[in-house]
Structure 1
Amino acid sequence: MSDLIRVLLIEDDEDDYFLTADYLSQCKEPRFDITWVTNSAEAVAAFRCKLFDICLLDYILGAENALDVLSVIKSKGINIPVVILTGQSDTKVDEMVMRAGAADYLTKSEIESPRFMRTMRYAMVRREIENERIERHKVEQQNKAKDKFLAHLGHELRTPLTSILGYTELLIDDSQNQRINQELSIIHTNGKHLLSLLNDLLDMSRIMANKLELAPKDVDLAGFMTDVHSLMNLAAKDKGLQLSIDCPAPVPEVIRADPTRLRQVLINLISNAVKFTDNGKVEVIIDMFHQMGTQGKEMLRFRVIDSGIGMPPDKLEDIFHPFEQIEDVMRANHGGAGLGLAICRELVSKMGGEISVDSAFGKGSTFSFTMDPGNISEQPREALNLASPSTRTATGMNLHVSGRVLIVDDLRELRRLTGHLVSQCHAQVAYAENGVKALEAVLIAEQEGHPFHLVLMDIHMPVMNGIDALKALRKHNCQTAVVAITAASRKGLRQSLLDEGFDGVLGKPIEKNALMEVLDKYLIRTSGVDIEHPDNASAASSEKSTEAPLLNNGLSQGQRILVIEDDIDAAELMQLLLIHQGHQVDIAQSGEEAMKKLHHNDFDHALLDLTLPDYQGFDLAPKLRNIAPGLNIVVVSGREPDAHQLEEHHIYHALLKPVSKQDLTRLFEE
């Protein structure tokens, strides 16, 4: 409690006032400052002029009583502990005033007793606790308001970015704009940079609000690092750098981690290493490490080593703070909001580890971080033997086949790489990002009379892995050939996958010759013309056509699509991109307009914005399905849609704004 307690005494008897004031004035600690009034009107006036810590209220005040005064105080929104004083004890009065909101009830004869001072102290403590509760509630409400604002801001920024990036892509693809191609590329690059800054800000906001949660699962370390290498190797090669991943000692075959967030940390560190290195190499070294303070627990350690510009020693701590950047880096015009490393530090902390940096200006940097790999006592240890990715696009494939291939992988970039190899052999390609969507695609294709001839199935995927997907296909009496794709290299894995029922096994990174053998075995070799679609032979080999649909499962016919979006620029852009892909597209700018168009026209798919002037998207979805039961709904949103709501409304596809040409290519065929 404060050294000085400000007391408002509401008492109409002068003798009782002097008695109370005299007793309180004799107290050395705490000291009391007393203001005396005789009725509720004077009390309200006093509250307007001065702040008080506690109120002592006589029960009988002439024409008023304590219940009347309490009612007046509460009606004015005055939050202060009130102790009732009365001439004699009465249990019924005690209950009434406590129900009315009094902090306590005393007889005037107790004013000079120890109980009086205890009552004062307890009332003050209860008030402080209540004030803390109110402050916490205010902070929680402010955080909710901030989160709502950031979500709204993200939505509002993503919508114009859709138009900026989308129309720029269209202009770049137009051969008539070759003379301004460099300027258009600058616009596109900076638009993507703005999007990455927005994503970093939203990630940092979730971290600061303690709302970023990890989703740990079993991760095959060799396969995971092969994917990371494949994703980052092209960026390194573009700068003439060598990217290598080494593991000097055996490591666990499987670890427990959130693959999305672990990948985010590694890609951020490797991207920075590539960005700030002009010549030389970037190395990633993986080993086991007994970290201090973990009671001898083994931790997994990653080190990203570059031969780049380095940093001064006195600046090394600053780089892990949000919005901090090294001045020399800023002068080098490498950009960024200074959030990437701060996000990495928070993510590594959530993984149970620590991140650090060792650097010398002009001599390169080494970023190290550790993570808890989970219970690895039963895990076999093996050297991480990663093959270097082959040059996949330098030369064409010699094989010419006809058939339909479904590529299943949760990493979009790797789906595209594999798809490009397959399309070079002139086969038709479609994609799925997990086992559930693969199962859906294969079964629908069979029902519609356009079955797949081959499925290339990644083993480690979210939602449903490759083995479970294969079992589900066989339960549905689907005999399509399914070949497993895996980066794991443990002894006996190939045979165990064949025993599970796979028709073959391909290792990651996929070698061209091995892939051609599989395609030649399960597809029909042709003499240079696509038997099923001779007019599309050249298109099938084009890289632009490799991202076949997830929704229509590779059908070549144009789809009928309704774009439900209130932002006319974003709607017209999606319409234009889809029309260029050969689809019939209409636009509705509200829920009512969408329902009217569904009543009068047949649509295969609807791209549904979640924020419309007359409906929330999830409220509109069931109404659309009532009108058109077979309608495939794809959510389009400026923020991550709630997974539970997607599942509740049986919506299996969602696009995050800005929606690009590549995003739409994943859904629909060109």
Structure 2
Amino acid sequence: MTALDDPENVERAFEMGAFEYVAKPYDSLSLIARTKAAIRFSRTRMELKQKNRALSELLKEVEAQKDMLDENLNYMDTLIDILDHKIKNKLVPVISYSETFMNNVGGGNAEYAFGVINSASIQLNETIEDILTDMRARTRTLGKKERDVDIRGLLSGIVQKNAYILRDRGMQMSIDVEEDVPEEIITDITLFYDILDNLISNAIKYTEEGGIIRVHCYISDKEGHAGEFGISVEDNGMGIPSEYIDRVFEKEFIVPLDGYVRKENRTGMGLYLVRKFVSALGGSIEVSSILGKGTRFEIHLPLRIPDQSSVV
């Protein structure tokens, strides 16, 4: 409250931190209203300062967690390298030589001993591979990095990768990308590639010679997934018995299939990792199958287009 309401003194008062002023003579209603407004402003300013301090502390904590995550990822990468190159690779000659000696020592205790070594080495190799697969999955999901991904180019690369086995087994693969699917989407290219590569490799593995693999990309209009990016991978292979459908994504679960001759390539990790990677991308996956006729996997992912900040 002041009697000095000339512009020079008013300016000086505001520079010194005043929020409002009332010049004499004044009326009580105006004074009360201005005082209440000043109190509200002061409280709001104090609350903002407190929230800014809390936000600064939170940002520091997030940065510290990020540094810790980066450190852990680097540590896991080192462990993966040790297991893969310095331990797992050392087992290759052990397995090879033990099998050679086992088949050429002419029976007896020596053959039995080399058989034990060979069997134990193979089991250890498989155990290390399972550990490596799980560790790689963890590093990929934790270290997720999004970028613009060329859908059609990525699918073309997967087709080229599998071209030899498709031709060798007389199989066909069709890629159908609908016109309204954008040229690029924003996602983690490593996870996205591994999802499609696993599903397509799985379809090839479980489809007999002369079979057909169909990959379909579209913008979904399905209830609960409208506007999302949809991908389906379908084969006309062996199919999955209905009693195992709910278990196909379980870790290390292998569907029992009578007469399946390529069992040595089945680890039970592929579909488990697919669901893990799909979840990391914020999506969902469903499976349907008819025994003896084929299997269909359908994925829905959030549709994010480059130069557009919103998620469709």
Query: TM-score normalized by structure 2?
Result: 0.57
Which residue of the other structure, out of 266, 269, 289, is the alignment partner of 1:359? Answer: 289
Cross-structure match for 1:328 = 257
Cross-structure match for 2:142 = 212
Determine whether 1:308 maps to 2:237.
yes
Cα deviation code 1:172-202 (max 9, x no counterpart)? xxxxxxxxxxxxxxxxxxx99x989855532
Runs of 5+ in structure 2 lacking a partner? 1-71, 98-120
More helix by share: 2
Post-superposition offset of 1:309: 0.4
Cross-structure match for 2:219 = 288
Post-superposition offset of 1:326: 0.9
Distance change in 2, residues 1:350/1:291 (3 Å): farther
Cross-structure match for 1:368 = 298
Distance change in 2, residues 1:374/1:163 (3 Å): farther
Mapped contact 1:206–1:212 kept (Cα < 8 A) = no
Distance change in 2, residues 1:197/1:375 (3 Å): farther
**Partners of 1:218 and 1:349 in 2: CA distance:** 19
Determine whether 1:231 maps to 2:161.
yes
Mapped contact 2:236–2:294 kept (Cα < 8 A) = yes
User: SS in structure 2 opposite 1:236?
Assistant: helix
**Partners of 2:163 and 2:255 in 1: CA distance:** 26
User: SS in structure 1 opposite 2:233?
Assistant: strand
**Partners of 1:318 and 1:231 in 2: CA distance:** 29
Which residue of the other structure, out of 174, 180, 191, is the alignment partner of 1:250? Answer: 180
Mapped contact 2:239–2:289 kept (Cα < 8 A) = yes
Cα deviation code 1:368-387 (max 9, x no counterpart)? 112224235859xxxxxxxx
Larger radius of gyration: 1
Alignment of 1:91-130 (within 5 A): none
**Partners of 1:267 and 1:196 in 2: CA distance:** 21
Alignment of 1:83-162 (within 5 A): 151=80, 152-161=82-91
Cross-structure match for 2:32 = none
Which residue of the other structure, out of 220, 223, 228, is the alignment partner of 1:299? Answer: 228
**Partners of 1:272 and 1:228 in 2: CA distance:** 13
Cross-structure match for 2:274 = 344
User: SS in structure 1 opposite 2:283?
Assistant: coil
**Partners of 1:214 and 1:223 in 2: CA distance:** 21
Post-superposition offset of 1:314: 1.8
Runs of 5+ in structure 1 lacking a partner? 1-142, 168-190, 380-670
More strand by share: 1
**Partners of 2:261 and 2:95 in 1: CA distance:** 26
Distance change in 2, residues 1:214/1:290 (3 Å): farther
Cross-structure match for 1:478 = none
**Partners of 1:206 and 1:224 in 2: CA distance:** 21
Aligned length: 210
Post-superposition offset of 1:303: 0.8
**Partners of 2:170 and 2:281 in 1: CA distance:** 33
Mapped contact 2:228–2:303 kept (Cα < 8 A) = yes
Post-superposition offset of 1:325: 0.9
User: SS in structure 2 opposite 1:316?
Assistant: helix
Query: TM-score normalized by structure 1?
Result: 0.28
**Partners of 1:301 and 1:264 in 2: CA distance:** 16
Which residue of the other structure, out of 247, 265, 268, is the alignment partner of 2:198? Answer: 268
Distance change in 2, residues 1:281/1:206 (3 Å): closer
| Aligned residues with identical type, % of pairs | 29
**Partners of 2:259 and 2:279 in 1: CA distance:** 27
Mapped contact 1:232–1:267 kept (Cα < 8 A) = no
Cα deviation code 1:515-535 (max 9, x no counterpart)? xxxxxxxxxxxxxxxxxxxxx
User: SS in structure 2 opposite 1:323?
Assistant: coil
**Partners of 1:149 and 1:219 in 2: CA distance:** 28
Post-superposition offset of 1:248: 3.6
Mapped contact 1:273–1:282 kept (Cα < 8 A) = yes
Distance change in 2, residues 1:291/1:201 (3 Å): farther
Mapped contact 2:286–2:299 kept (Cα < 8 A) = yes
Which amino acid is the alignment partner of residue 247 of structure 2?
Answer: D
Cross-structure match for 2:62 = none
Alignment of 1:507-526 (within 5 A): none
Alignment of 1:487-636 (within 5 A): none
Q: Which is bigger in relative contact order (C-alpha 8 A, separation at least 6)?
A: 2
